[in-house]
A = this chain, B = another copy of it.
Amino acid sequence: MASTVTELDRVVIRFAGDSGDGMQLTGDRFTQEAAVFGNDLSTLPNFPAEIRAPQGTIPGVSSFQLHFANYDILTPGDRPDVLVAMNPAALKANLADLPRGATIIVDTHDFTRRNLDKVGYDANPLEDDSLAEFAVHALDLTGLSVEAVKEFGLSRKDAARSKNMFALGLVSWLYGRDVAGSEEHLAAKFAGRPTIRDANVAALRAGWNFGETTETFAVSYVVKPAPVAAGRYRNITGNTALSYGLVAAGELSGLPVLLGAYPITPASDILHELSKHKNFGIATFQAEDEIAAIGAAVGASFAGTLGVTATSGPGVALKSEAMGLAVMTELPLVVVDVQRGGPSTGLPTKTEQSDLLQALHGRNGESPMPVIAAQSPTDCFAAAIEAARIAITYRTPVMLLSDGYLANGSEPWAIPDVAGLPRIEPGFATEPNHDKGDGTTDFWPYLRDVETLARPWAVPGTPGLEHRIGGLEKAGTVETGHGNISYDPDNHDRMVRLRQEKVRRIADSLPPLEVDDPSGEAEVLVIGWGSTYGPIGAACRRVRAAGHRVAQVHLRHLNPFPNDLGEILRRYDRVVCPEMNLGQLSRLLRAEYLVDVRPITTVRGLPFGAEALSADLLAHVTETPEPTA
C-alpha cells in the first residue's frame, strides 16, 4: 500500500519488450484506461521491421509510448518518465531516451547471461551502478505472473505470456486506474478460450494487487482528467480515422466506394479496416500490384463509384503513370499515401514526410494534382472527407498524405455528429449538354462548369451520354468540350493551362487560414504541414512559455496553396518551416512566394521531439534580425 499519492500534470510512459511480449496490447489497454478516465493523450507505437526478430535481440524490441495529461497535449512526448522493460534488449534499446530520474520497471526474469550476451551487456546492468541515475524497480514479473495463474494449469510458456497483463495491472495501480475496462476487453477477446481469459484477468488483477499490497512503490500518482468539451469520445488511430473518413465520404456523397489496394506498410490497415465494412457499400479489392489497384479505382470512378487507392511511397511511385491518366481523364479519385522512411524500401515501419514533392511532381508532363495532408490521427477523418470533396467536386485525382506516425498513433476523438457533416454532391450528368445548332443535342464529356472548370461525370448506364475518354490530349476547353483527340498545338497549350487552373481554383473554395499567434505581435512564423502539427504546436508553447512570441500556421492544402498564404508569409520578418524531410515544403514556398523560408529538418524516422524543436525555434526567434535596407 502506497503511503503517498502525488498529483502530476502529465506522464510519458513507454512499454517495451520482445515482439512476442504483447507490448502493443498492453499499451493499447492502458491508453484506453487513460482515455476513459478523461486524460488527454497521444500515443506512439514502434514496431520492429521484422515479423519476429530473434527473441531477446535489439531489433526484436517492440514498444508503445503513451503520453497522458490533465490538459490538451499535442505529442506522444519526447522522453519517457516511466519505462517498463520486459527484457535486457528492451532496457538497452530504450535507455538512451530516458531523462535522468526516470522510473524503470524491469522484469528481471530474462536477465540471464545468455540474454545479456545477446544484446552485448558485459555485466548485468541491474547489478552494477549503470542505472544509478534512475529509479529502478527490478521485479520478477514473469515469475509473479506464473505464480498468479498457476491454478489454470497452463503450460509454463503460456503462463509466462500473461506477464504483460501483470505489468498492465501494476502500472494501472501506480496511476490509480481502474482495470474494469481491461477485464471486459479480455473477456470479450478470449470469449472462446475461457482458460486463457481467466488467466489473463487473474494476472491483471495480481499486478494491480501487487502494487496495492506490497511496499515496492512508495508513491502512486494521479493525473486528473483534462478539461475537454462535453461529448462522446473514443480513442482512434490515424489509419482507422482515415478509413472512417472514406466510409463517411461515401455516405455523404451517396456514392459507393471501391478501394483498390496492394498491402504495404504502413498503409495496409486501411485495406484491413475498410474490408470490414461491406455493409456500407464499400468494396475492397486486393490487387496484384499497386498499378492494378489504382487501375481498378480509376475504372470504378468511371463507373460512378468513388475510387480510392491507398499505399505508401514506393506504391505511389508505381502508380505515377496511372495518376496521370486520372488527371487527363479528369475522374474523381483519392490516392492515399501513408508516408514512410525512404528512399526505396528505406525504413518501412518508420515515419517521414518525404513524399511531398513526389506527390506534386511525380508524374510525366504537366500533371497537376491537388495534394492535402492530415495533421493528427483524428484529423485523418476530416482530411479524408476533404480529399473526397475535392475529388468529386472538381473531377480530379487527389493525393491525401498521411504518415507512419499518424497511421499508428492514436488520440482521443470527439466523435462527430454525422448530421453535422457537409454533404458532397456528385452531380452526375443526366442528359445531353450541348446544342448541336441543328435543333438536336448531344453530350460533350469535356464541356466544363465555367466556375469550377469541372467536367460532367456521366456514368455508364445513362442513356444518350455514351462517350469515350482517354489519355491522349483532347479538345476539352470551356468552348470546345467535345473531347475528341486533338493534336492542335494551341489546343494543347490551352488544355495544359486549363488543367492547372482547374486545380488552382480549388483554393477559391477554402476558408481563410488560421494563424495561431496569441500575442498578436509575433515576428517569426512557424509553418508546417501534416503530422508535425503536434510537435510544432508543443514547441511553440514552450517558446511562448519562455517569454517569446511566435506564430504558427499549419497547412492542410499543399496544392493549391490557400489564397491568403502569400500575404500571411510576408507579414512576418522570418518564416521557419520544420519538416521530416530535407526541406520540401520550404522549397515550394520559396518558389511560389520568394520568401526566405528557413527549413528545420529531421529525417530520423521519428516525429520531432518538442524539446529539441523548441530549442531550434528559439534560436530563430531570438536571432538578431538582419538589417533591412
A interface residues with partner B (beta carbon < 8 Å): 48-49, 59, 312-314, 316-318, 320-321, 324-325, 327-329, 341-348, 350, 352, 354-355, 357-358, 360-367, 470-473, 487, 489-490, 492-493, 496-497, 499-500, 581-582, 587-588, 590-592, 594, 596, 602-606, 629
| A344 partner, pick from B328, B342, B361, B581, beta carbons under 8 A | B328
How many Å from the CB of A481 to the closest CB on chain B? 18
Chain B residues with CB below 8 A from A350, complex form: 487, 489, 492
Q: What residue in chain B is nearest A320 (Cβ atoms)? A: B317
Interchain CA distance A314-B492 in the complex, whole Å: 18
List chain B residues, Cβ under 8 A from A472. Answer: 49, 344-348
Contact B354 A366 (CB under 8 A): yes
Copies in the complex: 2
List 8 other contacts, CB 8 Å, given A342-B363, A594-B596.
Answer: A49-B487, A59-B487, A324-B343, A328-B346, A343-B366, A343-B367, A347-B472, A493-B602
Chain B residue numbers with a CB within 8 Å of A471 are 344-346
Q: Within 8 Å CB of A590, what residues of B? A: 590-592, 594
A328 partner residues in chain B, CB cutoff 8 A: 343-346
Q: List residues of chain B with CB within 8 A of the CB of A489.
A: 350, 604-606
Q: Known contacts A318-B318, A492-B347, A603-B497; decide if A365 and B355 are in contact (CB<8 Å).
A: yes
A325 adjacent to B354 (CB under 8 Å): no
Cα of A497 to Cα of B581 in the assembled complex, Å: 10
A492 to B348, CA, bound (A): 12
Given A317-B321, A582-B497, A603-B493, A346-B358 contact (CB < 8 Å)? no
Docked-complex contact A473 and B341, CB < 8 angstroms? yes
Can you name the residue of chain B whose Cβ is closest to the Cβ of A593? B590
28 interchain pairs (CB within 8 A)? A49-B487, A313-B365, A314-B364, A317-B321, A318-B318, A320-B320, A320-B362, A321-B344, A324-B343, A327-B344, A328-B345, A329-B344, A341-B365, A343-B363, A343-B366, A347-B473, A347-B492, A350-B487, A350-B489, A354-B364, A357-B360, A361-B361, A492-B603, A496-B582, A497-B603, A587-B591, A588-B591, A594-B596
Closest to A359 in B: B361
In the docked arrangement, what's the CA distance between A207 and B602, Å? Answer: 72
Contact B346 A473 (CB under 8 A): yes
Name A358's contact: one of B364, B582, B596 (CB within 8 Å).
B364
Residues on B with C-beta less than 8 A from A346 are: 328, 364-365, 471-473
Q: For the complex formed, measure the closest distance between the CB of A13 and the CB atoms of chain B, giving whole angstroms.
A: 20
Question: Given A343-B363, A365-B355, A590-B594 in contact, is the A318-B320 Cβ separation under 8 Å?
Answer: yes
Pairs A-B, 7 closest by C-beta atoms = A342-B365, A313-B364, A343-B365, A343-B367, A345-B471, A489-B604, A344-B471
Cβ contact within 8 Å between B344 and A367: yes
A497 to B48, CA, bound (A): 24
**Nearest chain B CB to A321 CB, angstrom units:** 4
Q: Which residues of B contact A341 (CB under 8 A)?
A: 365, 473, 492
